Copies of this chain bind each other. A is one copy, B any other.
Amino acid sequence: MKPLILISNDDGHEASGLHRLCDVAREFGDVVVVAPDRNASAKGLSLTTTRPLRVREIEHSEGIDIYSCDGTPVDCVKLGVEHFCPRQPDLVLSGINHGSNASINVIYSGTMGIALEAAVLGIGAVGFSLLSHSPKADFTAALPYVRRITSEVLTHGLPAGTALNVNIPCLGSEELRGIRICHQAPARWTDSYERRVDPIGRPYWWLTGKFVCPDPPEGSDEWALRKGYVAVVPVKPDYTSYETIDRLNHMASEEPLR
């Protein structure tokens, strides 16, 4: 039986990055798409808790079932696995996102929310992102890397509970230099909200901000990307800072507090 690949994204079911990813995935297996019905960027691992979800069948052609859902990216993958895949998927792919999910962006990313949720569900997963926010971005040079990584994961699997965060520089075929396995670079966004005043004189705030990552350390995703490499970071749905557990033991207590 061919592998079953579930695909989702956070740019919405019409995004061209999603359809380029489908083109690659169908070379490897049967494909089901469950994707948001609109842009759902920066939704992280959020879930829809206060209303029910609706799902619409968009297309059933060339071996691909496409469903759109009015929930978050993580709702899409959970619903997709549970209700819209004919069997447990062998692989979950997410993207190709229009814009970077490297470095600190991973924690806000709906694209990577999908891949991390798949890891929780015990399914191998890869989130792909191209470093261009343009809706008309050219994915041509990226696709051989998407194909290679998808093939590797289908052939060799991934360590249990792990997904991949794959970011691809927006460069021509001649300029991309290969693939590096990396860790997440430390970074932050500053000046995050711009204050404006509406026509009635009341203030409101728009999300904006600058990505700040000076001198990313060697071996980090930002470092590899700036050198022209595709950056692959293995990620797991675990925020524990294991290295600091022992340093906090002064806070432990075997005494009840009253």
Contacts and interface: CB of A to CB of B under 8 A. Distances in A.
A15 to B, nearest CB: 15
A200 interface: no
Contact of A181 (B145, B149, B206, B248): B248
A237 to B, nearest CB: 5
Interface stretch (A21-29, A87-95, A188-196): A188-196
Given A45-B44, A178-B255, A188-B121, A53 B240 contact: no
A236 B239 contact: yes
A157 to B, nearest CB: 11
Contact of A178 (B113, B206, B256): B256
Given A121-B188, A193-B79, A242-B183, A42 B49 contact: yes
A46 B108 contact: yes
Interface stretch (A1-9, A58-66, A227-235): A227-235
A48 B204 CA distance: 13
A19 interface: no
Interface string A245-258: 10111111111111
A44 B41 contact: no
8 contacts: A44-B44, A53-B206, A149-B251, A177-B256, A178-B253, A178-B257, A181-B245, A234-B240
Interface of A: 39, 41-50, 52-55, 72, 74-75, 78-79, 82-83, 104, 106-108, 112-113, 116, 120-122, 144-145, 147-149, 152, 156, 159, 161-162, 164-165, 173-174, 176-184, 186, 188, 191-193, 195-196, 202-207, 232-242, 244-245, 247-258
